[in-house]
A and B are shown apart, each in its own frame.
Chain A
Amino acid sequence: MLSIKNLHASIDGKEILKGINLEIKVGEVHAIMGPNGSGKSTLAAVLAGRSEYDVTEGEIIYNGENLLELEAEDRAREGVFLAFQYPIEIPGVSNINFLKTAIGEIRAYKGLDPMKAKDFLMMLKEKQKLVEIDRALVSRSINEGFSGGEKKRNEIFQMAMLEPKLSILDETDSGLDIDALRIVANGVNKLKSKENATIIITHYQRLLDYIIPDFVHILHNGKIVKSGLKELALELEEKGYDFIKEEVEA
């Protein structure tokens, strides 16, 4: 589904990603862990198509297509979803209106007829239940006045509504208390299927107690320095990032 080869990316002339290689197959959950400044969020931003980042080398093939040639909105329409680390507030625009517009655009891109209002409302209700989000939040303006936890939950709700093929969760666990963490993780688990894939970007291991990854990768200084199965996350938790640094530098 996703094949990243020798990806180099920089911002303002400073190289952040220094040769990332990653293969993700449909149905898989990959966790990307790493210390602050290792390039985790940059990787998410480059995948989503933020224009501030320059890709200087390498390629990203997504479902047979060159992802880097697609505009950010077209990547989204092709099923790439980013759950933001810091979700953005848009005052006066209700979540419902936002999602209706987004779904309309995605369907138009695929040459599908607009969704019937009734079907949309049914879907809204169903997904609301699935990710356990308060109805009142759904009709409020996007993220305006939401608590940190509510914002993260809203990201997962949007993910549920847009039914992406590749979801990238950027530090979705940061700022969540244990109950919110469980709800968010439950949502992600329910949305997981054989038809989609998930990338979980996280600093801590605790989210991985709830969402069990198939693979864990450790990012350090712009490169994946170690990959393994879910046990790697536990090892990392135990020994800390210093052990990776020592291993890499040794």
Chain B
Amino acid sequence: MNEVIEEKISTEYKYGFVTDIDADNAPKGLNEDIIRFISAKKNEPKWMLVYRLEAFRHWLTMDEPDWAHVSYQKPDFQDIIYYSAPKPKKVLKSLDEVDPELLKTFQKLGISILEQERLSGVESRVAMDVIVDSVSVKTTFKETLAEKGIIFCSFGEAIQEHPELVKKYMSSVVPYTDNFYAALNSAVFTDGSFCYIPKGVRCPMELSTYFRIEAAGTGQFERTLIIADEDSYVSYLEGCTAPMRDENQLHAAVVELVAHKNAQIKYSTVQNWYPGDKEGKGGIFNFVTKRGICIEENSKISWTQVETGSAITWKYPSVILKGDNSIGEFYSVAITNNYQQADTGTKMIHIGKNTKSTIISKGISAGFSNNSYRGLVRIAKGAENARNFSQCDSLLMGDKCGAHTFPYIEIKNNTAVVEHEATTSKIGEDQLFYCKQRGIDNEKAIGLIVNGYCKDVLSQLPMEFAVEAQKLLEVSLEGSVG
């Protein structure tokens, strides 16, 4: 099969457009030549190109899903630039070469990579990979991590340096056949982060990737792969921003996590893509596939997400609990304001015996927005004594927004215990007045009440992130009441 495709590639290639290897952007549009351009640009081995083309051909046979509770003008996939390198920053030797504007943005968010580099050698720090548009700009602390045998690098680098690991694990959790956006991502992904924690190693610092879409009309398709080998532990943070633009931009990432025996992966996201303006113009379409597998016994995967940005969010970080006694967790805060739409939740697939999962979802809707929780708990036939607890709360602010809950439960083993709790509430005038009577104004009061409402989720975030997340919640809801 592969040979046939490879042959096809080499024959078709000469009919393709002339690859301008010096170009920083691919031309708009998507076809096999663009994929070859990306692959050539990244100097990829042939197997990678073959994978991309297989994914692309499969993607052509698929339809964009429309079951989510969101409505939008479907993107024109031929009107997107699939590869864009930030211009002068192709090869950066040090942080001094990073665009000062970009550094300013990091500082605004309290993520100062400069600071972090300066603090090398000091305890409690964050190793960071920065992805601007499609290219990994800088990975900090690589050497420090290498001493422990930890691999933390850009995905592109991993393809070059650790092809055996990439080949083994990529697509093993999210195959390109999984869904429309995963197939698209598999065809055109340009970079992302790769992380491997060897046996018995507890990663001594938070690993972090910071994503940013900069250029206009660009799509961002990054790929993240994290492997925690036996008895290892890693905590991974992901942050995202994009500048304000009138048009919608597409972000379709794939994140795959693999936890081996006794390993634990904690994955935290603070998502703050540009949500569009007050009238609902512009903003990021965030169509992301995130999935982890607890492939062996006693492993654990926790997803924590704070979703405040994006015009549309379509995202279901999931865990396949294959190993016996494995644990999956999903903690989520999703805020929608103005005309934002979010359809987010999780899937917990119980396959192994004595597997446990916890779902805590807090949705907050304000303005004219719509916020949906969609979650699946599946207990397979052989999953003896599986346990799930789900709690889905919705908070409404004002009377023009919507909150929806779509829980799906499939149980094929009668020893399972599955609990589901759901509440819907409103921020009361009484609560706001109570705060005011103590000297706390409206904005601060909303921040306080919302943070209290989300406490169970926020407390799961690492310290550095929790502070940023709290601020974001307040900013996202500015002017939403009164």
- Indicate if the CB atoms of B438 and A71 lie closer than 8 Å: no
Q: Is A50 an interface residue (CB 8 A)?
A: yes
Judged by DSSP, the binding face of B is helix
- Indicate if the CB atoms of A76 and B434 lie closer than 8 Å: no
Q: Is A139 an interface residue (CB 8 A)?
A: no
- Indicate if the CB atoms of A93 and B449 lie closer than 8 Å: yes
User: What mask results when residues 437 to 450 of chain B are scored 1 for a CB within 8 Å of chain A, else 0?
Assistant: 11111101000110
Q: Is B453 an interface residue (CB 8 A)?
A: yes
Q: Is A36 an interface residue (CB 8 A)?
A: no
- Indicate if the CB atoms of A90 and B452 lie closer than 8 Å: yes
CB contacts (< 8 Å) of A84 on chain B: these are 434, 437
Tell me which residues from 120 to 148 in chain A have a Cβ below 8 Å from any Cβ of chain B.
Answer: 141
* Chain A, Cβ-Cβ closest to B455: A92
Q: Is A30 an interface residue (CB 8 A)?
A: no
A91–B439 Cα distance when bound, in Å, is 19
Q: Is A73 an interface residue (CB 8 A)?
A: yes
Q: Is A203 an interface residue (CB 8 A)?
A: no
Which of A50, A73, A87, A92 contacts B453, CB < 8 Å? Answer: A92
**Contacts A88-B431, A92-B453 given: A105-B441 contact, CB under 8 Å?**
yes
9-residue interface stretch from A15-23, A94-102, A174-182, A214-222: A94-102
Q: Is B454 an interface residue (CB 8 A)?
A: yes
- Indicate if the CB atoms of B439 and A71 lie closer than 8 Å: no
CB distance from B456 to the nearest CB of A (A): 8
**Contacts A50-B433, A90-B431 given: A106-B452 contact, CB under 8 Å?**
no
A141–B444 Cα distance when bound, in Å, is 17
Tell me which residues from 24 to 83 in chain A have a Cβ below 8 Å from any Cβ of chain B.
Answer: 48-50, 71-73, 76-77, 81-82
- Indicate if the CB atoms of B433 and A91 lie closer than 8 Å: no
Q: Is B31 an interface residue (CB 8 A)?
A: no
- Indicate if the CB atoms of A93 and B451 lie closer than 8 Å: yes
A48–B438 Cα distance when bound, in Å, is 10
Tell me which residues from 463 to 480 in chain B have a Cβ below 8 Å from any Cβ of chain A.
Answer: none
**Contacts A88-B430, A92-B454 given: A102-B449 contact, CB under 8 Å?**
no
- Indicate if the CB atoms of A91 and B452 lie closer than 8 Å: yes
Q: How many residues of B contact A (CB 8 A)?
A: 22
CB distance from B481 to the nearest CB of A (A): 13
CB contacts (< 8 Å) of A81 on chain B: these are 437
Q: How many residues of A contact B (CB 8 A)?
A: 29
CB contacts (< 8 Å) of A49 on chain B: these are 436-437
A103–B439 Cα distance when bound, in Å, is 8
Q: Is B75 an interface residue (CB 8 A)?
A: no
CB distance from A172 to the nearest CB of B (A): 15
Q: Is B110 an interface residue (CB 8 A)?
A: no
CB contacts (< 8 Å) of B430 on chain A: these are 88
Q: Is A109 an interface residue (CB 8 A)?
A: yes
- Indicate if the CB atoms of B449 and A90 lie closer than 8 Å: yes
Q: Is A162 an interface residue (CB 8 A)?
A: yes
CB contacts (< 8 Å) of B451 on chain A: these are 92-93
Q: Is B163 an interface residue (CB 8 A)?
A: no
* Chain A, Cβ-Cβ closest to B442: A73
A88–B454 Cα distance when bound, in Å, is 18
A84–B174 Cα distance when bound, in Å, is 55
- Indicate if the CB atoms of B428 and A109 lie closer than 8 Å: no
- Indicate if the CB atoms of B441 and A73 lie closer than 8 Å: yes
Q: Is A158 an interface residue (CB 8 A)?
A: yes
A106–B428 Cα distance when bound, in Å, is 23
CB distance from A169 to the nearest CB of B (A): 13
Tell me which residues from 91 to 126 in chain B have a Cβ below 8 Å from any Cβ of chain A.
Answer: none
- Indicate if the CB atoms of A72 and B453 lie closer than 8 Å: no
CB distance from A130 to the nearest CB of B (A): 18
**Contacts A93-B452, A101-B444, A101-B448 given: A162-B436 contact, CB under 8 Å?**
no
CB distance from B332 to the nearest CB of A (A): 15
A97–B454 Cα distance when bound, in Å, is 15
A99–B440 Cα distance when bound, in Å, is 10
CB distance from A31 to the nearest CB of B (A): 21
A97–B442 Cα distance when bound, in Å, is 16
CB contacts (< 8 Å) of B437 on chain A: these are 48-49, 72-73, 76, 81-82, 84
User: What mask results when residues 403 to 433 of chain B are scored 1 for a CB within 8 Å of chain A, else 0?
Assistant: 0000000000000000000000000101101
- Indicate if the CB atoms of B452 and A102 lie closer than 8 Å: no
Which of B431, B435, B442, B452 contacts A141, CB < 8 Å? Answer: B452
CB distance from A97 to the nearest CB of B (A): 7
CB distance from A25 to the nearest CB of B (A): 23
* Chain B, Cβ-Cβ closest to A143: B434
Which of B434, B448, B456 contacts A97, CB < 8 Å? Answer: B448
Q: Taking each of A92, A106, A158, which has the highest tally of chain B beta carbons within 10 Å of its own beta carbon?
A: A92
Which of A50, A90, A106 contacts B439, CB < 8 Å? Answer: A106
Q: Taking each of B428, B437, B440, B449, which has the highest tally of chain A beta carbons within 10 Å of its own beta carbon?
A: B437
- Indicate if the CB atoms of A77 and B433 lie closer than 8 Å: no
Q: Taking each of A87, A93, A102, A103, which has the highest tally of chain B beta carbons within 10 Å of its own beta carbon?
A: A93
The 3 nearest A-B residue pairs measured at CB: A92-B452, A93-B452, A92-B455
Q: Which residues of A contact B (CB under 8 A)?
A: 48-50, 71-73, 76-77, 81-82, 84, 87-88, 90-93, 97-99, 101-103, 105-106, 109, 141, 158, 162
| Interchain Cβ contacts under 8 Å between A and B, 13 examples | A50-B433, A71-B436, A72-B437, A73-B440, A81-B437, A90-B431, A90-B448, A91-B453, A103-B439, A105-B440, A158-B438, A162-B438, A162-B439
Can you name 14 extra interface pairs (CB under 8 A) apart from A90-B448, A98-B448? A72-B437, A76-B437, A77-B439, A82-B437, A88-B433, A88-B434, A90-B431, A92-B451, A93-B455, A97-B448, A101-B440, A102-B440, A103-B439, A105-B439
